[in-house]
Amino acid sequence: MTAQASPEPDPPGTDTIFASASGFGRAGVCVVRVSGPASRPLLEAMAGGPPPPRRLALRTLRDPRSGEALDRALVAWFPAPHSYTGEDQAELHIHGGLATRAGVLEALSRLPGCRPAEPGEFTRRAFLAGRMDLTAVEGLADLIEAQTQAQRRQALRQLEGGLGALAEAWRGRLVETQALIEAALDFSDEGDVATSVEAQAAERIAALAAEIGAALADAGRGERLREGFVVVLAGPPNAGKSTLMNALARRDVAIVSAVPGTTRDAIEVALDLGGLPVTLIDTAGLREAEDAIEAAGVARTRARIAGADLVVWLDPVDAPAPPDAGGTVPVLHVAAKVDLAAATASGALALSAATGRGIADLLAAIEDRARAGVGDGGDAVVTRARHRIALETAREALLRAAGALAAGDTELAAEDVRLAARSVGTIAGRVDVEDVLDALFGAFCIGK
């Protein structure tokens, strides 16, 4: 859901926001959320006053201007600070007809101090009120967008504080380590004391660097799971890529033609294989193309191959040729169109998209590769590039700190440990996250 551009909202706490928290269109029930200091006066004006906290009560909603009945609704009241946003908050569970929704929202907009919410503004207020850290916010965004069970498990784990708690524990230990190094500086004139304290700090630095390094050594499973395991269908023209794409997608998403070079641009389809997200990409056939448009398609194919997690290489002849991906991308060889030729390449998976032969085997092979590369979402710590960059920066600072301590440069070590703590602190939103907030909350639905 998107929103039209609007003026910059007032700071949280100075106004009251409202929005539908359920999808638009006809529905049995529509939930309207309200948050801010006018929540209680709003309930008094429209619903005869707030019900007991955190209990649903059946009320008649009325237009505060005309007194006209708008709907019979269930009303909930969440006084601050025990609410999602930490502010006074109300929910109106109204009937989901378009006219009912429009009438209630219009009535809310006429109340003093009330305005429609911006995308993600409820969650942003929850973050600013300390109700959730930035990793939980990201987990919530991922949970809303999750399309497979593995994505759901990973997002829920992060929403429940998996990464945030770990990052906060690391940050706490880094702050303690920094205090040790500062103590060593204070006792620098007492050699035995300073040496003992520096040794303790060095042990802590080594342990933290090892733990952060282990979290980073996950082959990008968390990011892959969140974004989808990318599989590129590649091969020469007329190898059967588009026919296979349609067979795997179970619908006509790609144009199939006997004319070489029909596919000019990449076509993407999202699949759920055993609960794992897989992005399947059909590409232009690889050959030396004289046509400028086809040549551009071939160039894009090579770029897609280079960025893939797996290449399914199709060739209808006896010896499938691997793509030129610099040897960095795993390749699954498939002898396609075996219904037209009896011979298949040794070691290649035999397949006919026209008859369905080998389709199940191919899907199983892709799922095996995806599961090996992604996992099931239960153990990945890093789920976004932002997390990885912060942890890499912290680890590099710790390695510098260890070297500085070994060389006797205690002041430099203290500064590097401080930088490591600051970098880890950005993960949960402790420091320097202002540039992240607008992009993150802008991607949320209105009403969330």
Give residue-wise pLDDT tens across range 293-327.
556 666 676 777 777 888 888 875 544 455 554 46
Q: Are residues 297 and 411 in the same domain?
A: no
pTM: 0.73
Range 235-246 average pLDDT: 77
Q: Is residue 307 part of a domain?
A: yes
Q: Are residues 235 and 271 in the same domain?
A: yes
Q: Are residues 230 and 369 in the same domain?
A: yes
Distances (CA, A) of 363 to 204, 210, 276, 309: 47, 38, 12, 15
Q: Is the per-residue pLDDT at 332 higher than 50? A: yes
Q: Is the per-residue pLDDT at 433 higher than 60? A: no
Number of domains within the chain: 3
Q: Are residues 230 and 356 in the same domain?
A: yes
Question: Which pLDDT does position 283 carry in this prediction?
Answer: 76
Q: How far apart are CA 190 and CA 55, in angstroms?
A: 64
Question: Which pLDDT does position 320 carry in this prediction?
Answer: 44
Q: Is residue 8 part of a domain?
A: no
Q: Are residues 213 and 324 in the same domain?
A: no
Q: Are residues 361 and 314 in the same domain?
A: yes
Lowest mean pLDDT among 51-65, 139-153, 323-337, 399-413: 323-337
Q: Is residue 368 part of a domain?
A: yes
Q: Are residues 238 and 370 in the same domain?
A: yes
Q: How far apart are CA 73 and CA 387, in angstroms?
A: 43
Extended strands (E) in 123-253: 229-234
* Confidence band of 441 (pLDDT split at 50, 70, 90): low
Tell me the per-residue pLDDT of 109-129, one tens digit each, with 9 for 90 and over.
999 999 999 988 999 999 989
Q: Are 282 and 233 in contact (CB under 8 A)?
A: yes
Question: Which pLDDT does position 315 carry in this prediction?
Answer: 73
Tell me the per-residue pLDDT of 358-369, one tens digit each, with 9 for 90 and over.
888 888 888 888
Query: Residue 166: which CATH number?
Result: 1.20.120.430
Q: Are residues 281 and 306 in the same domain?
A: yes
Q: Are residues 147 and 187 in the same domain?
A: yes
Query: Taken in order 311, 264, 235, 257, is the CA torsion positive or negative?
Result: positive
Polymer length of the chain: 448
Rg (CA), the chain: 29
Distances (CA, A) of 86 to 81, 122, 165: 4, 10, 21
Tell the burial category of 340 from Cβ atoms under 10 Å away from its Cβ (0-12, 13-18, 19+).
exposed
User: Whole domain around residue 53: which residue ranges?
Assistant: 16-126
Range 86-100 average pLDDT: 94
Q: Which of 337, 340, 363, 367 is nearest to 350 (CA)?
A: 337
Q: Are residues 243 and 289 in the same domain?
A: yes
Select from 74, 103, 126 the last residue of a domain.
126
Question: Which pLDDT does position 256 carry in this prediction?
Answer: 47
Select from 91, 126, 161 the last residue of a domain.
126
Q: Is residue 439 part of a domain?
A: no
Q: Is residue 286 part of a domain?
A: yes
Q: Which helix (H) or strand (E) holds 89?
A: strand 89-96
Q: Is the per-residue pLDDT at 4 higher than 60? A: no
